[in-house]
Structure 1
Amino acid sequence: MKTILSLAFAQDQYNFDEEVDFFGEVYRVIQYSTNFDVELTESLIKKYDGQCDVICISGIPQKIKFKKGFFLHPLSSRLKTAARYTPIVDGQIVKDVYVPYALRLFHLKNPMFFNRKSIGFYSGGLQISFVEPLSELCNKLVMADPFFLLKLPFNLHSPQTLEKFLKTLSPVLKAMKVQKNFIPDFDNKSMFKSRALNEFLSCDILVGNEANINFLNLSHLKGRTLIIDIVSPQLEKKLKEAGLKEALVCLPQLSDPKMNYAILEGIIQIKKGEGLSVKQDDVIKMVEEVKFSPEIKSFNLDTDEVIKFSFVIHPLSSSYLFKHPYLKFMRKYSKPLEKLTEEALTLSPGFYYGKIQGVVSEKNGRKVEGLIYTITETPKKMMQADASVIYNKILKLCEKASTAGSKIMGLGAYTKIVGDAGVTIDRLSPIPVTTGNSLSAASTLWAAKLAVEKLDFVKKVDGHFKGTVMVVGATGSIGAVSAKILALTWDKIIIVAPRAYKLMELKDDILKINPKANVEISTDADNFSDVCDLIITTTSGQGKTVLDIMKVKPGCVICDVSRPFDIKEEDAIRRPDVLVIASGEVTLPGEVHMNIDLGLEGNIVYACLAETALLAMEGKYESFTLSRNINYEKVIEIDRLSREHGVRLSQIMGHSGFITDAEFDLCKEHAERKLKKSK
């Protein structure tokens, strides 16, 4: 077994001698925390020199590269050359390669995390691997190097000024001793508090290395967000006690005891063999093999804090206009006025409509409140309007929502269809935007599955339905992702849409996910409606007929996702042997109160609204679902979050409200009778 000596120069009382399993290989790791004691560190190096396979030193100042030359503190040079036989590594090569990659990876998955944020570095020079990637992602850099290193009352704001500062002062920095009693306080009571320190402390996100903040007074971190290279158990306890809200930890916990960058470089060094030094290519190979990824770690959740989200709705028809409190008194006489009112209200700007309160997560107790905004266009008017006009109305609401303290904005009904399905709005919005289509797809499948099981005409073996499902509007966002997931659990799937070439592309995508899927393509739903046990309709037909319900197989469940409905109520009544349900709407956890009319009964809300609330409950303030391409893995993820936080399918609904068990039984009786006659 290979032995690694780990010397934690900037830690105290975190010592161990353990066997660590690192992806199938076991190493003995002996760690001593030397608490800035240079002589102790050097004596341990000499003691173990030749007795172990690699010596890993963490917490010492690392090499800072300039365009012409570099700066290396004499202490680091002294310790790194103290051994004669055993190679010494400090983790810098791993950090230089991995940290920029990790930050970029996190940004791609969470694009709003850094959006319009100011980022404060305790010391850009000591966190040099963070500076360049974050300078590309954030709005403003504040580097407190003058204060941190020399207690000077000013900050630096770019990689260029940092380099100039370090080059100019390198003679002074070389003469400075690395010791914890020199580290200044960053708390609000600091005697060095100045405009510069205020600027640093007012940043949205702070960035630190474990080594250079481990001995700080951390009271200023209460309720804050921190980016850090790694968190030891010792520091984790301190951060929790300080009241830190959350940390983006670049190197997640891979083992217990925890790895650090120096130990990882030591493992690579052992694999390289004696006499060979670690190169960047070796680190790239390890990162690719191990699949490292950064993680958000929550430390303190203020359950009394109410997190706000916002959501945009609009009237689904001209009659909906008269549900507004100011127009309700006219509802009895509204019919002759609907067309005129629909036209006139397109001139109205969007406005605040009402509030949803009392939402409480079952997972973490987080309290959530929804601010509901509306624009006044009906689907017809929205599709006729120039997309930029609708964009501008929604963006003004996004700005209002941001000012009101909302963390995320959801788009309802046709606001998520117009233009490029939320992409442009998200790009220009001050807060993240989601269409909610991932949960809309998930809840549709919840409702469809439950309805098929209640009618019990389709056999189910090991979770697999032995029948045929059809998705109408399959190339749309919800249709496509529904088809991909249904192809995993049904014997046969038929995908229907107007454009054959898009259906062919979707079929290829389905077969990549499930090569054994039986997929058929059609541009006409009526060609197959007589053999389908489940039909999902998810079109933007605005009430146009998408299938002839008289041709549908008795006992079939039609799940209508579209708003307005694809299947008119009068058509559904003509087929009592066919069950037409609305897409799965949901209930939110907690004692929910609404002072608005969403067009749904009780405390039921649209699934797209619930997705926005869910992301707020999870603290996942990101553009979770955008564009017309929904990742089916996102649907699986939002399904998991729903179960964890307590978002559940409400009673299955039809055109006129809840579908009772008696109505299920009656539909089943009609279907059985009709099936017997057809034999």
Structure 2
Amino acid sequence: MARRVVSVSLGESRRDSAVEVELLGEKVLLERRGTDGDFQKALRLIAELDGKVDAIGLGGIDLYLFAGGRRYTIRDARRLKEAARQTPVVDGSGLKHTLERRAVAELSGLIEWEKTKVLLPSAVDRFGLAEALNQAGAKVLYGDLIFALGLPIPLYSLSFLQKLAFLLLPLLTRLPFRLLYPTGERQRGRAVDWRSRYYRWADLVAGDWHYIRRHMPDDMRGKSVLTNTTTPEDVAFLRACGVRRLITTTPRLGGRSFGTNVLEALLVALAGRELGEEDLLRYIDLLGLRPQVVDLWEAA
């Protein structure tokens, strides 16, 4: 019998999908179930799945935000996690911290990071990626103040961002999550406004797909996007904007790349327990997980 992993997402149900994969001799059914931004529906669905599936992923919401060596728990996400009493619930943050950090090093043969300007709209939900880009020598614009708080203050110093996060995250993680991140139908909308000018500055835009898409201008000719969880519709949108290269940190399964929460839940299902950083790195090597690069101009 196949193991079953379900991602319960605050995103739109129209992005739902299911695919069966075979890994390490085990069949695993991966499902994505969107709740269209309905937090109570997500709570009920997790409680309903508890004890009936092997692992649950939290999609469209982070359980933890990181700054340096500190971890902050988002209050709304903790409520979702606690709705399951038997089945492990993960948000993908462990995999982000390992897989995405490693992806930067593995892409060094393709991208000259020292000559690359990178826009990272939200660094606190991808601090491992932010640190890896900084260590690789890229010139990074950390857009947390711009894109999360609407303040026209670009940050180019990771150490300053970290100090700011130490100050703000204890407060921000207590706010309703919908104030911090687009959920439901808001994920579909775009706001091409003053924030879009920072895309024109960048050679590569990295991080969460919904953050990237929301303020992306129509003209992205020749630029690269480093993200995950892209559907065929998303790929067509990127191609129409003129994006040259799409890099996903998770493999494409059934025509789309699944989120880190799905893949981390998959690994938890295979292991039968929640996994630490060393365990995740071992599975990354065991499964040969590598960044997927698509030249959108060549594939057109």
Q: Same fold, TM exceeding 0.5?
A: yes
Conserved in 2, the CA contact under 8 Å of 1:229 and 1:250? yes
- State how 1:31-430 maps to structure 2 within 5 Å: 31-67=32-68, 69-107=70-108, 109-110=109-110, 112-170=111-169, 171-172=171-172, 174-178=174-178, 179-180=181-182, 181=186, 187=192, 190=193, 192=194, 198-199=197-198, 201-254=200-253, 258-273=257-272, 276-300=273-297
Say which SS state the counterpart of residue 119 (structure 1) adopts.
Answer: strand
- 1:416-461, CA deviations, whole angstroms, 9 ceiling, x for partnerless residues? xxxxxxxxxxxxxxxxxxxxxxxxxxxxxxxxxxxxxxxxxxxxxx
Say which SS state the counterpart of residue 142 (structure 1) adopts.
Answer: strand
1:263 CA displacement? 2.2
The percent identity for this pair of structures is: 19
Say which SS state the counterpart of residue 147 (structure 1) adopts.
Answer: helix
1:134 CA displacement? 0.5
CA RMSD of aligned residues (A): 2.8
Conserved in 2, the CA contact under 8 Å of 1:93 and 1:265? yes
Q: Using CA pairs below 8 Å that are at least 6 residues apart, which structure has the higher relative contact order?
A: 2
**Which AA in structure 2 matches 1:164?**
K
1:51 CA displacement? 1.6
Say which SS state the counterpart of residue 8 (structure 2) adopts.
Answer: strand
**Which AA in structure 2 matches 1:288?**
D
Supply the distance in 2 between the matched residues of 1:168 and 1:42 (Cα, whole angstroms). 30
Conserved in 1, the CA contact under 8 Å of 2:91 and 2:260? yes
Supply the distance in 1 between the matched residues of 2:257 and 2:37 (Cα, whole angstroms). 20
1:85 CA displacement? 1.8
Supply the distance in 2 between the matched residues of 1:68 and 1:259 (Cα, whole angstroms). 27
Conserved in 1, the CA contact under 8 Å of 2:199 and 2:217? no
1:218 CA displacement? 4.8
Residue 19 to residue 239, structure 1, CA distance change in 2 (3 Å): same
**Which AA in structure 2 matches 1:55?**
I
**Which AA in structure 1 matches 2:59?**
S
TM-score between both structures, scaled by the size of structure 2 = 0.85
Conserved in 2, the CA contact under 8 Å of 1:100 and 1:130? yes
**Which AA in structure 2 matches 1:232?**
T
The number of equivalent residue pairs is 293
Supply the distance in 2 between the matched residues of 1:95 and 1:8 (Cα, whole angstroms). 17
1:176 CA displacement? 4.6
Which protein is bigger by CA-based radius of gyration? 1
- State how 1:588-607 maps to structure 2 within 5 Å: none
Supply the distance in 2 between the matched residues of 1:234 and 1:81 (Cα, whole angstroms). 34
Supply the distance in 2 between the matched residues of 1:38 and 1:220 (Cα, whole angstroms). 35
TM-score between both structures, scaled by the size of structure 1 = 0.40
Conserved in 2, the CA contact under 8 Å of 1:218 and 1:239? no
Supply the distance in 2 between the matched residues of 1:176 and 1:66 (Cα, whole angstroms). 20
Say which SS state the counterpart of residue 177 (structure 2) adopts.
Answer: coil
| 5+ residue gaps, structure 1 | 302-363, 366-679
**Which AA in structure 2 matches 1:154?**
I
**Which AA in structure 2 matches 1:174?**
R
Residue 282 to residue 221, structure 1, CA distance change in 2 (3 Å): same
Supply the distance in 2 between the matched residues of 1:33 and 1:148 (Cα, whole angstroms). 24
Supply the distance in 1 between the matched residues of 2:20 and 2:253 (Cα, whole angstroms). 13
Conserved in 2, the CA contact under 8 Å of 1:124 and 1:145? yes
| 5+ residue gaps, structure 2 | none
Say which SS state the counterpart of residue 123 (structure 1) adopts.
Answer: coil
Question: Corresponding residue for 2:27?
Answer: 26
1:152 CA displacement? 0.5
Conserved in 2, the CA contact under 8 Å of 1:22 and 1:255? no
Residue 68 to residue 51, structure 1, CA distance change in 2 (3 Å): closer
Supply the distance in 1 between the matched residues of 2:241 and 2:80 (Cα, whole angstroms). 33
